[in-house]
Structure 1
């Protein structure tokens, strides 16, 4: 399957719009009203069956398809396509009772109980057999149903159960380690087990990194993170293989969680999905949550290799799981949705269609709220549906980004293990700070894995790359020697893929590329700050840097290393390597990234006022400029030669009202989606 999005777009006739549909929560006489209102709202795709295992298989091996048969036929009759989910994220109560050892154990040995979702050990053979059986039965029955246009595998892999420490997990971990290392001598060498007398003489001596007396072996802990992610990935691949065998030609997706999920490697799951999907939810307490939204959209696009992706879930208003669940203001849901669309999504979906009356998520907003069609949210949902339909010509186009930001779950895991120089240096904090600086500069970036092909990017930004493999480090050297610009954040390049120090002085992986040596890492206490030579102050982290040919762009004016380099640039081959030896304050960080982007030739999509996003989606014959105003004031953007999608030509500067979104066509028209490039052209 080379063009899954093109085939899906043909079936839908436009951009995907809809949400999770859970008819089992409602009496059958409500279903007719649901499909009528879906049509009114412009819904063309719904996800069905996510948590329905106990309905589909009420007793072991006994299947009841009456509900699903009726619902799929009803949706198809009303022109609504279905993303049919495998219900394996919610094993039924009978399964947990019959197989109590399938329930996960914590690191302290506590066996968790049934009563929520994802109550299973990823390595449980009993779970694997039961999951494969329900997936096989589901796919066999509905492979040819005309409503089914996509398969939805599981739900939010690893959200609640990624790390299990039971005996089944221990046995699976040993097998994983044998496959990875081959011999115990290799494992002992790379884990550094001679420290604290941990050397292993038999595979059976190795357990998961359960709670113990002191610090756990970091190599073991890091590999357990990898193993746990791979155990869930094995289940994803198993379900996907069954679906592809029994229902060939129907694309497969799964809803990943982006930065909301630390415990699984999202890049690896994306590589085994036909269409990349994510869920994204705003953090209400964050006044700049729209920047985090953009970050996760760019991460989804990066995981998709630049191809269109699907926003599988977001909220129409408040969620139910934050300390204070603040509803979205008027127009905010539309602005959020169109921001995802601007950044490459070809589908805008919600959790869920009809707001629940009971259960843990009854206070989670939905497309059809408790108040029904009289509620404010319903008016916004129907208005957005009409607008999404009018944007159909945008689908299939791609976001053009000249900067790559390296995002790596392995570096995230390693940085935040025990016994680091400072527990206050947090991976996501650093990534978000650097991304926010690029967002402020208006520079669009793809968030990609360190092993991605970087050749097409003018600049590469690595905010936090504490761990980097020798192969990925060499690829970055090659990229810069060939004329690229790479900028690294503090504490980058320190350890290899096994959390061992790279040979020689710090930063071992990038010492030559950066033309410097870090003599010592100097984290700051909570109440400390250091003056920089530009007059700003930095907190959290500094480093004692010695130049080995680099040019100093900013210095520490006081603190532990007065006069020492804080920001450097080094010519390397035909390119340049830049380094920040501190957690820079926002103005200094913007200044650094602005200098890098200017020198590399990475320009914003358009010149816009502060608080306004400008993002471009394009195909060979046309492009579209999205202007998104996150401020409380109308703004004027000096653009000409563009038209609105309704064909009107804005007179003079384009005015973007407060909190509004304007989409401009920059050339050409289209009634059909752009066909994605062939794999061999990518």
Structure 2
């Protein structure tokens, strides 16, 4: 670990409170507006803003010519107002002169479409011209502002992988070949790993390999999987190139970029998280999801897990509606606080929005902001002020940790592989499986971490693997050791099917897990659309079934009808002092509860079902032994919560019970 690890202990330089603010784009407004911005920021309790993210064309109006005058005035003004700066490198938006000089570095989509530079987004990530230009502007910024007292954080680029990630141009193909040569060393090794004997695809020269663009039918899945790995690595190389400049010229200031933990599938964030000094994430509600608060919590728990349970930054979320979904629903009264404080409860020490002031022009003019089009005399801004006050009262939370009781396995490589074409059904969606298992625990007030299959799992009494299609031998050995040592593992359908090359394991469809689970999947039996199957005990399954042969596992539930009628549907076996449960179908909520309850009991975990399911409860724990309990009521009726402690905002002690108003949030210290 480099000396950058010390930054994590001290959080952000100069920051002594929970951070609150958002993206600030003063370049969109005349300078006379800036003074009003500073006044309203102080009024709202804003103490950290992100600036400069989209300003390359203004900072370098012509190649090698720089204009920092306006940015000097912005940063100095913020510093004078006591507001810290998260300074962006604007490399997500190369200037128009760059595209005019380098038309050949425009990204090429898989179908051959060349992307025009009329929006945001990276150039070909393998382009040397882009790399040189990005390093130049980053160097200039670091030399000018690297020691400015207002700067507490560097923000490289913006949302890598969005809106595009993969590039299929000739430059990318050449870089991909270099990546492959480094990985495989020989064509014989590559041909073996990719199974190129199938369909006569054997390669006799590295030059014959290209990026896997659209072909007559589906492409070699191992080829596609390696290209996904390559893409993540190329994007990461773009980040580390700028990060290294900043570390050299601006020592002591942490460097980050904003992830999108569940919404940007092109990046292996377990790798990325090791390269940033502080983990940051963007999250936006899915308006069409009636339980979007569950998706928010999942995203926050995944981000905290990426951060290794160190404090992290919610770099962006919205004060109300976004503008890119089919139906952009405004947030209800109180929802700003519920969303923000759920992130805080799950480990974020900074709560930021996109953006400070709503834009009058451009593609996101209908995106909500902290200061909306209606101005300061509006419900949204009043709720922003109240949130700022709440965070100001919660400084004691800084650096406190979340203690999870269970873990869910999450592996981007497995998701990439299962998402490819020609799988047995389009209906078995791995992320939906993860969400279903996560929501069951969320409703039971059980806090969850996410973990890679090869990570140390010993701290978790229960580990869920709802969707582990790809598992390496290392991962299988890790899971086996976990169970033998007393852990309780639950595995979902279509798991342990392929290795790292997307090659099916021998000995059944679940060959990797056959010995651990003591069942063999003789055949997978997907269901027709909307088809349901009955299981013993009034249980229900859908989407998927399997023909299971027990090798020693006990049957928990059996199929009563459907293509696997009479066969085991859910099995469990003991190994060492632990258990391994296998679920071979997609269970409804009630059935999943029935399967998980005995596992939780074996692990000594109590599900909380006396309170309404939509009361969110999660705790953070301080180094002094204090526990901070967040009670977030997503329901329409008040809830009486049995709790002894003091209200963090008012200091009032409870008498063993506290009322959580409908749509309200309370934080207790005990």
Question: What TM-score range do you get, normalising by the shorter chain?
Answer: over 0.9
* 1:112 aligned partner: 115
Structure 1 40/604 Cα, relative in aligned 2: closer, same or farther at 3 Å? farther
Partner of 2:336: 333
Deviation at 1:9, TM superposition (A): 5.3
Q: CA deviation at 1:655?
A: 1.2
User: Does the 8 Å CA contact 1:151/1:250 hold for their aligned counterparts?
Assistant: yes
1:616 counterpart = 2:619? yes
CA contact (8 A) 2:45 2:385 kept: yes
Q: What's 1:322 paired with?
A: 325
Equivalent residues in 2 for 1:278-677, closer than 5 Å = 278-603=281-606, 608-621=611-624, 622-641=626-645, 643-666=647-670
Asked if structure 1 preserves the Cα contact closer than 8 Å seen for 2:278 and 2:313, the reply is yes
Report the alpha carbon displacement of residue 651 of structure 1 after superposing the two structures with TM: 2.6
Quick check: 1:302–1:448 contact (8 Å CA) kept in 2? yes
* Corresponding position of 2:264: 261
Structure 1 stretch displaced more, 218-227 or 448-457: 448-457
Residue ranges of structure 2 left out of the alignment (5+ in a row): none
TM-score (norm 2): 0.98
Which residue number corresponds to residue 146 of structure 1? Answer: 149
Partner Cα separation in structure 2 for residue 129 and residue 604 of structure 1: 55
User: What is the distance in 2 between the residues matched to 1:60 and 1:574?
Assistant: 66
Separation in 1, partners of 2:127, 2:12: 38
Q: CA RMSD in A?
A: 1.3
Moved more, 261-270 or 141-150: 261-270
Q: What is the match of residue 128 of structure 1?
A: 131
- Secondary structure (helix, strand or coil) at the match of 2:239 reads helix
Matched, 1:223 2:226: yes
Q: Report the Cα distance in structure 2 between the residues aligned to 1:604 and 1:144, rounded to whole angstroms.
A: 50
Render the CA deviation track for 1:285-327: whole Å, top value 9, x for unaligned: 1100000000000000010011111100000000000001110
Three-state SS of the structure 2 residue aligned to 1:466 is: coil
Partner of 1:2: 5
* Secondary structure class of the residue paired with 1:244: helix
Structure 2: distance between partners of 1:315 and 1:303 = 22
Residues 427-450 of structure 1, C-alpha deviations (whole Å, 9 max, x = no match):
211111111111112111111222
Contact map agreement 2:107 2:168 (CA 8 A) in 1? yes
Find the aligned partners of 1:113 and 1:20 in 2 and give their Cα distance.
26
* Aligned 8 A contact 2:12 2:153 in 1: no
Query: For 2:631, what is the secondary structure of its paired residue?
Result: strand
Cα distance per residue 1:513-539 (max 9 Å; x no partner): 111111111111104211111223221
- Which residue of 237, 245, 249 corresponds with 1:246? 249
How far apart are residue 165 of structure 1 and its match? 0.3
Select which of 72, 79, 98 maps to 2:75: 72
1:607 Cα offset (Å):
6.1
Q: Hey, what's the Cα distance between the residues in 2 that align with 1:7 and 1:639?
A: 32
Q: SS where residue 655 of structure 2 aligns?
A: coil
The answer as to whether partners of 2:143 and 2:250 remain within 8 angstroms in 1 is yes
- 2:212 match: 209
Answer whether contact 1:605 1:616 (CA < 8 A) is retained: no
Structure 2 counterpart of 1:13, from 13, 16, 20? 16
SS at match of 2:547: strand
Q: Count residues in correspondence.
A: 666
Q: How much does 1:506 deviate?
A: 3.0
Q: Normalization by structure 1: what TM-score?
A: 0.96
Mark the runs of 5 or more structure 1 residues left unpaired by the alignment. Answer: 667-682
Question: Does residue 1:198 correspond to 2:231, yes or no?
Answer: no
The Cα of 1:451 is off from its aligned counterpart by 2.5
Matches of 1:607 and 1:76 in 2, distance apart?
50
Give the match's secondary structure for 2:358.
coil
Q: Distance in 2 between matches of 1:266 and 1:607?
A: 37
Check conservation: 2:12, 2:254, Cα contact below 8 A: no
Match in the other structure for 2:168 = 165
Deviation at 1:568, TM superposition (A): 1.2
